[in-house]
Copies of this chain bind each other. A is one copy, B any other.
Amino acid sequence: MSSSTHATLGVRQAQKLKTRQALLDAALRLLEEQSLSSLGLREVTRVVGVAPAAFYRHFRDMAELGVALVEESLGSLHVMIRAVLAEQQEAEEVIDRSVEAVADHVRRHPAHVRFIARERHGGVRAVREAIAAELARFGEEVAAALAAQEVSQGWSAEDVRMLAGLYVDHLVMTASAFLEASPEEGQAIADTARRQLRLISLGRRHWRAA
Protein backbone atom coordinates (compact mmCIF):
# COMPACT_ATOMS: atom_id res chain seq x y z
CA MET A 1 0.00 0.00 0.00
CA SER A 2 2.90 2.34 0.76
CA SER A 3 5.17 3.76 -1.88
CA SER A 4 8.65 2.49 -2.66
CA THR A 5 10.26 5.48 -1.00
CA HIS A 6 9.72 3.92 2.40
CA ALA A 7 12.27 1.18 1.89
CA THR A 8 15.18 3.38 0.87
CA LEU A 9 14.58 6.65 2.65
CA GLY A 10 13.67 6.02 6.28
CA VAL A 11 10.42 6.89 7.99
CA ARG A 12 11.55 10.43 8.70
CA GLN A 13 12.28 11.67 5.20
CA ALA A 14 9.47 9.62 3.74
CA GLN A 15 6.92 11.42 5.90
CA LYS A 16 8.40 14.77 4.97
CA LEU A 17 8.22 13.98 1.28
CA LYS A 18 4.67 12.84 1.77
CA THR A 19 3.43 16.13 3.19
CA ARG A 20 5.51 18.01 0.65
CA GLN A 21 3.70 16.13 -2.07
CA ALA A 22 0.40 16.77 -0.33
CA LEU A 23 1.16 20.49 -0.44
CA LEU A 24 1.96 20.29 -4.14
CA ASP A 25 -1.22 18.33 -4.85
CA ALA A 26 -3.41 20.69 -2.87
CA ALA A 27 -1.87 23.71 -4.60
CA LEU A 28 -2.36 22.18 -8.03
CA ARG A 29 -5.99 21.51 -7.22
CA LEU A 30 -6.61 25.04 -5.99
CA LEU A 31 -4.85 26.44 -9.05
CA GLU A 32 -7.54 25.07 -11.31
CA GLU A 33 -9.69 28.04 -10.40
CA GLN A 34 -7.22 30.83 -9.74
CA SER A 35 -3.66 31.83 -10.56
CA LEU A 36 -0.53 31.35 -8.55
CA SER A 37 -0.07 34.97 -7.61
CA SER A 38 -3.38 34.91 -5.75
CA LEU A 39 -2.93 31.53 -4.10
CA GLY A 40 -2.41 31.89 -0.38
CA LEU A 41 -0.10 29.85 1.78
CA ARG A 42 -2.78 29.36 4.41
CA GLU A 43 -5.23 28.26 1.76
CA VAL A 44 -2.94 25.41 0.82
CA THR A 45 -2.07 24.29 4.34
CA ARG A 46 -5.75 24.37 5.26
CA VAL A 47 -6.61 21.91 2.51
CA VAL A 48 -3.77 19.60 3.50
CA GLY A 49 -4.80 19.81 7.14
CA VAL A 50 -1.52 21.11 8.48
CA ALA A 51 -0.47 24.21 10.40
CA PRO A 52 0.42 27.30 8.31
CA ALA A 53 3.92 27.44 9.74
CA ALA A 54 4.62 23.91 8.51
CA PHE A 55 4.69 25.30 4.98
CA TYR A 56 8.08 26.87 5.63
CA ARG A 57 9.64 23.46 6.32
CA HIS A 58 9.23 22.76 2.60
CA PHE A 59 9.17 26.02 0.65
CA ARG A 60 10.40 29.54 1.24
CA ASP A 61 7.26 30.97 -0.37
CA MET A 62 4.59 30.21 -2.94
CA ALA A 63 6.90 31.10 -5.81
CA GLU A 64 9.24 28.29 -4.81
CA LEU A 65 6.34 25.85 -4.65
CA GLY A 66 5.37 27.08 -8.11
CA VAL A 67 8.78 26.25 -9.51
CA ALA A 68 8.51 22.76 -8.03
CA LEU A 69 5.15 22.39 -9.74
CA VAL A 70 6.70 23.38 -13.06
CA GLU A 71 9.18 20.54 -12.86
CA GLU A 72 6.48 18.08 -11.90
CA SER A 73 4.14 19.26 -14.65
CA LEU A 74 6.62 19.39 -17.50
CA GLY A 75 8.31 16.20 -16.43
CA SER A 76 5.34 14.11 -17.48
CA LEU A 77 5.03 16.02 -20.75
CA HIS A 78 8.68 15.37 -21.43
CA VAL A 79 8.12 11.63 -21.25
CA MET A 80 5.26 11.88 -23.72
CA ILE A 81 7.26 13.95 -26.18
CA ARG A 82 10.16 11.53 -26.17
CA ALA A 83 7.84 8.65 -26.88
CA VAL A 84 6.38 10.36 -29.94
CA LEU A 85 9.74 11.53 -31.25
CA ALA A 86 11.26 8.09 -30.84
CA GLU A 87 9.05 6.51 -33.51
CA GLN A 88 10.38 6.85 -37.01
CA GLN A 89 7.35 6.69 -39.24
CA GLU A 90 5.50 8.24 -42.13
CA ALA A 91 4.80 11.97 -41.65
CA GLU A 92 1.06 11.46 -41.72
CA GLU A 93 1.35 8.75 -39.11
CA VAL A 94 3.49 10.92 -36.83
CA ILE A 95 0.94 13.73 -36.97
CA ASP A 96 -1.95 11.48 -35.98
CA ARG A 97 0.03 9.94 -33.14
CA SER A 98 1.17 13.35 -31.88
CA VAL A 99 -2.27 14.87 -31.73
CA GLU A 100 -3.65 11.78 -30.06
CA ALA A 101 -0.81 11.81 -27.56
CA VAL A 102 -1.48 15.44 -26.69
CA ALA A 103 -5.21 14.81 -26.31
CA ASP A 104 -4.47 11.84 -24.10
CA HIS A 105 -2.02 13.79 -22.00
CA VAL A 106 -4.54 16.57 -21.43
CA ARG A 107 -7.18 14.01 -20.51
CA ARG A 108 -4.86 12.42 -18.00
CA HIS A 109 -3.18 15.46 -16.45
CA PRO A 110 -5.56 18.36 -16.97
CA ALA A 111 -4.44 20.23 -13.87
CA HIS A 112 -0.79 20.07 -14.91
CA VAL A 113 -1.56 21.36 -18.38
CA ARG A 114 -3.79 24.11 -17.06
CA PHE A 115 -1.08 25.18 -14.64
CA ILE A 116 1.52 25.49 -17.38
CA ALA A 117 -0.77 27.34 -19.76
CA ARG A 118 -1.85 29.70 -17.01
CA GLU A 119 1.53 30.47 -15.50
CA ARG A 120 3.53 30.56 -18.72
CA HIS A 121 2.73 34.26 -18.92
CA GLY A 122 1.55 34.56 -15.32
CA GLY A 123 2.40 37.05 -12.63
CA VAL A 124 5.24 35.22 -10.89
CA ARG A 125 8.60 35.83 -12.56
CA ALA A 126 10.47 32.84 -11.16
CA VAL A 127 7.77 30.47 -12.39
CA ARG A 128 7.61 32.11 -15.81
CA GLU A 129 11.35 31.71 -16.18
CA ALA A 130 11.26 28.09 -15.07
CA ILE A 131 8.60 27.31 -17.67
CA ALA A 132 10.47 29.20 -20.38
CA ALA A 133 13.67 27.33 -19.60
CA GLU A 134 11.95 23.97 -19.68
CA LEU A 135 10.12 24.74 -22.93
CA ALA A 136 13.42 25.84 -24.45
CA ARG A 137 14.86 22.44 -23.56
CA PHE A 138 11.87 20.86 -25.28
CA GLY A 139 12.66 22.92 -28.33
CA GLU A 140 16.25 21.72 -28.41
CA GLU A 141 15.10 18.15 -28.11
CA VAL A 142 12.57 18.48 -30.90
CA ALA A 143 15.15 20.27 -33.02
CA ALA A 144 17.60 17.42 -32.55
CA ALA A 145 14.97 14.91 -33.61
CA LEU A 146 14.01 16.97 -36.66
CA ALA A 147 17.62 17.40 -37.72
CA ALA A 148 18.06 13.65 -37.74
CA GLN A 149 15.34 13.21 -40.37
CA GLU A 150 16.12 13.04 -44.05
CA VAL A 151 13.71 15.87 -44.88
CA SER A 152 16.03 18.25 -43.02
CA GLN A 153 19.04 17.75 -45.25
CA GLY A 154 20.48 21.07 -46.31
CA TRP A 155 18.70 22.92 -43.50
CA SER A 156 20.63 25.41 -41.39
CA ALA A 157 20.65 24.80 -37.65
CA GLU A 158 18.77 28.02 -37.16
CA ASP A 159 16.02 27.01 -39.55
CA VAL A 160 15.62 23.70 -37.76
CA ARG A 161 15.27 25.55 -34.47
CA MET A 162 12.61 27.87 -35.84
CA LEU A 163 10.63 24.88 -37.07
CA ALA A 164 11.02 23.17 -33.72
CA GLY A 165 9.79 26.34 -32.03
CA LEU A 166 6.75 26.34 -34.27
CA TYR A 167 5.99 22.77 -33.27
CA VAL A 168 6.41 23.42 -29.54
CA ASP A 169 4.25 26.52 -29.64
CA HIS A 170 1.64 24.64 -31.59
CA LEU A 171 1.72 21.85 -29.06
CA VAL A 172 1.11 24.21 -26.16
CA MET A 173 -1.68 26.00 -28.03
CA THR A 174 -3.37 22.74 -28.91
CA ALA A 175 -3.08 21.41 -25.38
CA SER A 176 -4.71 24.47 -23.85
CA ALA A 177 -7.38 24.42 -26.55
CA PHE A 178 -8.26 20.86 -25.54
CA LEU A 179 -8.38 22.01 -21.96
CA GLU A 180 -11.26 24.41 -22.18
CA ALA A 181 -13.40 22.34 -24.51
CA SER A 182 -16.09 19.74 -24.18
CA PRO A 183 -15.46 16.22 -25.57
CA GLU A 184 -17.25 16.86 -28.87
CA GLU A 185 -15.45 20.14 -29.32
CA GLY A 186 -12.29 18.18 -28.61
CA GLN A 187 -12.92 16.18 -31.74
CA ALA A 188 -13.01 19.33 -33.83
CA ILE A 189 -9.89 20.69 -32.16
CA ALA A 190 -8.00 17.49 -32.88
CA ASP A 191 -9.10 17.75 -36.48
CA THR A 192 -7.95 21.33 -36.83
CA ALA A 193 -4.64 20.56 -35.13
CA ARG A 194 -4.01 17.69 -37.52
CA ARG A 195 -4.66 19.85 -40.56
CA GLN A 196 -2.44 22.60 -39.21
CA LEU A 197 0.40 20.17 -38.66
CA ARG A 198 -0.15 18.78 -42.14
CA LEU A 199 0.14 22.25 -43.61
CA ILE A 200 3.31 22.94 -41.67
CA SER A 201 4.88 19.67 -42.74
CA LEU A 202 3.92 20.57 -46.31
CA GLY A 203 5.73 23.86 -45.99
CA ARG A 204 8.64 22.00 -44.54
CA ARG A 205 8.99 19.70 -47.51
CA HIS A 206 9.02 22.63 -49.92
CA TRP A 207 11.37 24.82 -47.88
CA ARG A 208 14.17 26.27 -50.03
CA ALA A 209 12.96 24.16 -52.90
CA ALA A 210 10.65 26.71 -54.42
Contacts and interface: CB of A to CB of B under 8 A. Distances in A.
A160 to B, nearest CB: 11
A123 B38 contact: yes
A117 B123 contact: no
B192 A199 contact: no
Interface string A192-210: 1001100111111111001
A17 interface: no
B33 A192 contact: no
A23 B120 CA distance: 27
A105 interface: no
21 contacts: A34-B37, A38-B38, A118-B121, A118-B122, A118-B123, A121-B176, A159-B195, A162-B192, A163-B199, A165-B192, A165-B196, A166-B199, A169-B169, A169-B170, A169-B173, A199-B207, A200-B203, A202-B203, A202-B210, A203-B203, A205-B210
Given A38-B38, A118-B122, A162-B195, 20 more contacts: A31-B123, A33-B123, A34-B37, A34-B123, A35-B35, A114-B121, A118-B121, A120-B121, A121-B121, A128-B180, A159-B195, A163-B196, A163-B199, A165-B196, A166-B199, A169-B169, A200-B200, A203-B206, A205-B206, A205-B210
Nearest to A196: B166
Tell me how many chains of this kind the complex includes: 2
Chain A interface category by residue count? 35 or more
Contacts of A123: 31, 33-35, 38, 118
Interface string A107-131: 0000000100110111100001000
